[in-house]
């Protein structure tokens, strides 16, 4: 995969939102939950050819970058990480608005393979908006450590879109991703996302609103957006509807016929105890139900053995959990402090011997005393003391903590401490 120094192209549409477009190639949006490796993938794909700024009127930073794959130019737009695009936080607005109205040629949704079900919420929401979706199942190495297996081909069939497995740090896995991205952008692959089907009453309401929009001469070039817009009208989120009106130059909020139809449908929905307050919850619960259903089909986990159960009963018990945690952490700190003394002494001795040789060399070349004191007694001695004091404990402590993490004990510590953190208001 080569990189190019071509500048980032920008195309400001006649709206308040500034959209990046690649005039010489394809524009690809990168979406995903926070901490799924999205930025690592973006950095690896674009190298140093990146531009960072702020979305107009927003404080959230954006990043765009270019790359070349098989003589084809790509402009990547790194959308802020978000768990959903249904609410009105700044990140969610930016992600939603760019995917809806920025018109990228493809949207890569990066998901965490270790918690696939949770990430599917965003996948289904984006697939309501656009068809040109590629699901990138990242962190496969972490899933392997946790003995999680994901059938990527089956997941692709269930979602109706291309699915690529990646390890963001390994460029060869990103070549597979870029190959799929190129083929989707060139229409050689045409994704056909599976839409979540809601309850019959909600589905009928969506269809009724779609028909009403057409009869009211509300014209939208992208007919596939009608379903999503109808869902937003039913939902009644004014901020989202205002953005839709501005970008499509249509009248929804003040359209009397449309609002009368919506009110009729809401009265029908109330028969199933669905109202404006809980409609969004009903929609999300249906999405999560679909996500759970798919993940059960495509994910397999190594069986949880009786030995693991017995260990968990002890290390997470109310009686022994905290004492065992204190014992383990105490042993680690003891090993770190006592064990660090020996390499520290060795480093002090080695650096001291080198310091004497440096003074001898300075005397041999008739170096001024003030200069040798500044360089050797000042800079060199300070630096070597810091290394001798700090390096040994770090070299002992971090591998030991990594070992505990690999054993799976750190999540148990988090479980034991959860109640205390809640009392301190440190968790949500």
Rounded average pLDDT per 10-residue block, the chain, 428 residues: 34 40 80 88 79 55 83 90 78 81 91 91 93 94 87 95 90 89 94 92 92 87 84 86 87 90 91 84 90 92 69 82 89 91 93 93 91 91 93 91 80 80 68
Looking at residue 6, what is its pLDDT?
Answer: 31
Looking at residue 136, what is its pLDDT?
Answer: 96
Looking at residue 5, what is its pLDDT?
Answer: 31
How far is Cα 351 from Cα 383, in angstroms, rounded to an integer?
10
Residue recorded with tokens 């309501």: 128
Nearest to 64, CA basis, from 16, 10, 102, 137: 10
How far is Cα 183 from Cα 417, in angstroms, rounded to an integer?
48
φ/ψ (deg, to 5) at 133: -110, 140
- State the burial class of residue 319 (Cβ atoms within 10 Å of its Cβ: 0-12, 13-18, 19+): exposed
Which of the 8 DSSP states describes residue 373?
I
How far is Cα 374 from Cα 385, in angstroms, rounded to an integer?
15
Which of the 8 DSSP states describes residue 2?
B
Looking at residue 4, what is its pLDDT?
Answer: 34
Nearest to 49, CA basis, from 74, 25, 23, 13: 74
To the question of pTM greater than 0.95 for the whole model, the response is no
Looking at residue 303, what is its pLDDT?
Answer: 62
Say whether 163 sits in a helix, a strand or coil: strand
């Amino acid at each position: 995969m080569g990189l190019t120094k071509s500048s980032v192209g920008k195309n400001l549409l006649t709206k308040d939102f500034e959209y990046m477009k690649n005039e010489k190639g394809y524009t690809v949006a990168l979406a995903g939950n926070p901490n799924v490796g999205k930025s690592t993938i973006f950095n690896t794909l674009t190298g140093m050819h990146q531009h960072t700024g702020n979305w107009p009127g927003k404080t959230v930073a954006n990043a765009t970058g270019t790359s070349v794959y098989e003589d084809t130019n790509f402009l990547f737009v790194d959308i802020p990480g978000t768990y959903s695009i249904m609410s009105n936080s700044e990140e969610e607005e930016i992600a939603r608005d760019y995917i809806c109205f920025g018109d990228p040629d493809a949207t890569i949704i990066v998901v965490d393979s270790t918690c696939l079900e949770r990430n599917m919420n965003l996948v289904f929401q984006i697939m309501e908006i656009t068809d040109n979706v590629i699901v990138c199942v990242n962190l496969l190495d972490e899933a392997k450590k946790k003995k999680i297996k994901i059938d990527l081909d089956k997941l692709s069939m269930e979602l109706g879109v291309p699915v690529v497995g990646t390890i963001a740090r390994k460029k060869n896995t990103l070549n597979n991703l870029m190959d799929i991205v190129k083929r989707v952008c060139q229409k050689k692959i045409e994704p056909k996302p599976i839409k979540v089907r809601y309850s019959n009453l909600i589905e009928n309401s969506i269809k009724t609103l779609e028909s009403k929009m057409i009869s009211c001469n509300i014209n939208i070039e992208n007919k596939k957006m009608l379903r999503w817009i109808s869902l937003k009208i039913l939902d009644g989120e004014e901020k989202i509807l205002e953005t839709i009106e501005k970008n499509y130059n249509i009248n929804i909020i003040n359209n009397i016929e449309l609002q009368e139809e919506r009110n009729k449908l809401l009265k029908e929905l109330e028969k199933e105890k669905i109202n404006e307050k809980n409609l969004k919850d009903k929609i999300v619960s249906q999405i999560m139900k679909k996500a759970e259903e798919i993940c059960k089909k495509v994910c397999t986990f190594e069986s949880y053995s009786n030995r693991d159960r017995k260990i968990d009963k002890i290390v997470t018990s109310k009686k022994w959990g905290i004492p065992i945690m204190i014992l383990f952490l105490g042993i680690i700190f003891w090993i770190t402090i006592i064990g660090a003394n020996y390499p520290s002494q060795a480093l002090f001795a080695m650096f001291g011997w080198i310091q004497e040789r440096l003074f001898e060399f300075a005397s041999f070349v008739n170096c001024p005393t003030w200069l040798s004191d500044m360089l050797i007694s000042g800079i060199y001695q300070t630096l070597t003391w810091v290394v001798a004091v700090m390096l040994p404990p770090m070299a002992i402590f971090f591998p030991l903590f990594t070992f505990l993490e690999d054993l799976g004990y750190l999540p148990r510590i988090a479980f034991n401490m959860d109640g205390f953190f809640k009392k301190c208001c440190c968790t949500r």
